[in-house]
Amino acid sequence: MGEIDPAFIQDIEHRPKLTITETQQIPLVDLSSVSSLLDSLSDYNDSNIDQYALIAEIGDACQKWGFFQVINHGVPFEKIEKIDLAARKFFSLSMEEKRKVRRDEANPLGYYESEHTKNVRDWKEVFDCVVRDPAFFPVSPDDLRPKRLINQWPDYPPELREACQEYGREVEKLAFKLLELIALSLGVAADKLRVFFKENTNFMRLNHYPPCPSPHLALGVGRHKDSGALIINVGDIIQVWSNDKYESVEHRVMVNSDRDRLSIPFFFNPAHYVMVEPLEELVNEQNPAKYESYSWGKFVAARKKSNFKKLDVENVQISNFRVSK
C-alpha cells in the first residue's frame, strides 16, 4: 500500500476503455476515526449504514471511482521513508548485482527487469517479496498443490529486508481495516471477508521506473504530486465479491524522460485455496450472480506463468468467468 491493491493488480491491455485521471481528483478519505468506528461496530447491520459517514464515503468512492486516497492511515512516515531509501539503494546497484536475486519460474520472488525494446511498452524494473515468509501458493495452473516460496534478499543494502518486513506489516494492518470498511459499505458484516485472508498470499512490489527516452511510447497515467496520502485500488476480487457494484479500474504509471520514479504497491490477496464468487448476501432473484466461482490459486498461477513465457492464449481475466446472459 505505498499504493495498495486489496486484491490483484491487473494487466492494462485487456480493457477497451481508458480514462486518464489526475491523482489529485481521486476522492480523499480521512481515516483518523477508523479505529474507534470499527470498535463500535460489533453489532453492526446494514440498516444503519447511513449514519456512518466514513463507511458511506468509502462505498461511494469504490462505486464511482474504483480508487481513493487515504490520509491519517496510521502507517508511520519513518517506515515509508526507510523502505523508499532502501529501495533506491538497491535499484542503484549494477545489473550484475541485482540479477543475483533475479526471479524465475521456480521462484517468482525477487528482481526482474523488463526488456527495453524500441517500442518501449513497459519501462520498469521490479523487486517482489511476500509479507508472510515463507508463503504457500501454486506456481502453475496445471498443478494447484501449494509450493513453499521464500523471499530472495540481496546482500546490499542490508536494511532492505528489514525495511520491507516492517513496512509490509504496517500496510497489512491498514489493509485489514480497509477490508472491514469495504465489507460494511457493501452492507455485510465487518468480518465477512476476513476469513478469506486467514492464510493470505499478500505480496509487495518495489517498482522502479528509470528515466525513459521516449515517455510518450511507454504505458502510463497522468502525473501526480505526493501529498502523503496512500492510494487504494479496488481490485478484481472486490469487483466479483460485490457482484459488479464496485469496479476494478485499469490504471497506468507515467514515466519521465528526466528523472526516475519509485512506487511500492501492496497486493492484498486471499489464501490460495479460496474460491472467488459474488457474496451470497448480494445475490437475489432481481440481482443474480454475474460471475461463476473460480479458484484464486489457479487464477494467480496462470497470471504468473505468463511472466516467464509467452502463452498461446490471452492472459486470464475475471471477464472469463462472467455469466453470459
Query: In this predicted model, what pLDDT tens digit does every residue of 156-197 receive, in sequence order?
Result: 999 999 999 999 999 999 999 999 999 999 999 999 999 999
Strands (E), the chain: 3-5, 28-30, 67-71, 110-113, 125-130, 135-137, 147-149, 203-209, 230-233, 261-263, 265-267, 275-276, 294-295
- pLDDT digit string (tens) for 227-279? 488 999 999 999 999 999 999 876 555 555 567 889 999 999 999 999 999 99
The total domain count for the chain is: 1
Task: Give 301's contacts (C-beta < 8 A, 6+ positions apart).
Answer: 137, 138, 139, 140, 141, 144
CATH of the domain at 203: 2.60.120.330
- Domain range for 222 is 3-135+147-277
The whole-number pLDDT of residue 41 equals 62
Say if 258 falls within a structural domain: yes
Q: What is the pLDDT along the chain (325 residues), one digit of tens a residue?
A: 344 443 333 332 333 343 444 555 789 999 988 877 777 665 555 544 445 789 999 999 999 999 999 999 999 999 999 999 999 999 999 999 999 999 988 888 999 987 644 444 566 899 999 998 888 888 787 888 888 989 999 999 999 999 999 999 999 999 999 999 999 999 999 999 999 999 899 999 999 988 765 555 554 433 433 348 899 999 999 999 999 999 987 655 555 556 788 999 999 999 999 999 999 999 999 999 999 999 999 998 888 776 555 555 567 888 899 997 6
Task: Give 233's contacts (C-beta < 8 A, 6+ positions apart).
Answer: 3, 4, 5, 6, 9, 66, 67, 248, 249, 251
φ, ψ for residue 205, nearest 5 deg: -130, 130
Rounded CA separation 136/239 (Å): 24
- Can you say whether the dihedral through the CA atoms of 299, 304, 305, 311 is positive or negative? positive
Say if 199 falls within a structural domain: yes
Instruction: Name the average pLDDT for the chain.
Output: 81
Say if 291 falls within a structural domain: no
Give the type of residue at 71: I
Say if 318 falls within a structural domain: no
Q: What nine digits make up the cell of 265? A: 504497491
Rounded CA separation 83/166 (Å): 9
C-alpha separations of 177 from 37, 264, 291 in Å? 10, 19, 26
Say if 321 falls within a structural domain: no
Say if 21 falls within a structural domain: yes
The whole-number pLDDT of residue 24 equals 58
Say if 288 falls within a structural domain: no
Say if 304 falls within a structural domain: no
